[in-house]
Amino acid sequence: MASKKGGGRRLPFDPIEEASRQWGRRWGAVEQMRAVTSLMRAQQIVIGELDELLRPHGLTFARYEALVLLTFSRRGSLPLGKMGERLQVHPTSVTSIVRRLAAAGLVTRVPHPDDGRAVLCEITPAGRELVERATKDLVDADFAVRGLSEDQLRMLWSVLEPLRRSAGDFS
């Protein structure tokens, strides 16, 4: 058997298909179970590859997303609370991400000029440089979704968009 990324061995069958066969003997909602299990496995594959691509830059995908968000902001800075909202992560996660980026010299934490209780996270020139280099590597690797055509990528987005909308990600 050929080996796959991660050191495991390639199975001679699709384990999700087998699980759905077994599942169907006991419970309903086979298509939902198969879709969710496939989605979760795809997420593991993509995040694993993205983190591998970003590791040489000293980044995880979560930290990369934070730097990109700051790059897109008008002033290169955002309050930590707004970063959490836009990244759709818990405030403690934002704090951890920003702490690690600051330790690497990629962002600085500065007092908010208008709100004495708030802290701004501001991207540094080194952070901007790193975003450019890391983004080139991600684009060159098709953001770890190789094997999907442009039409399939659009379809994937359109299939997931209603799920995200119904979860309250946006109105």
The most distant pair of C-alpha atoms in the chain lies apart, rounded to whole Å, by 62
Domains and CATH numbers, the chain: 15-146 (1.10.10.10)
Q: What is the pLDDT of residue 115?
A: 82
pTM: 0.85
DSSP codes of every residue in 112-157: -SS-TT-EEEEE-HHHHHHHHHHHHHHHHTGGG-TT--HHHHHHHH
Name the band, by pLDDT with cuts 50, 70 and 90, for residue 46: very high
Please compute the mean of the pLDDT values over residues 58-64 and round it to a whole number. Answer: 96
Beta-ladder partners of 77: 122
Q: What is the pLDDT of residue 9?
A: 84
Residue 6 has pLDDT above 60, yes or no: no
Amino acid identity, residue 135? Answer: T
Residue 81 has pLDDT above 60, yes or no: yes
CA distance 134 to 136: 5
Q: What is the pLDDT of residue 126?
A: 98
Q: What is the pLDDT of residue 2?
A: 41
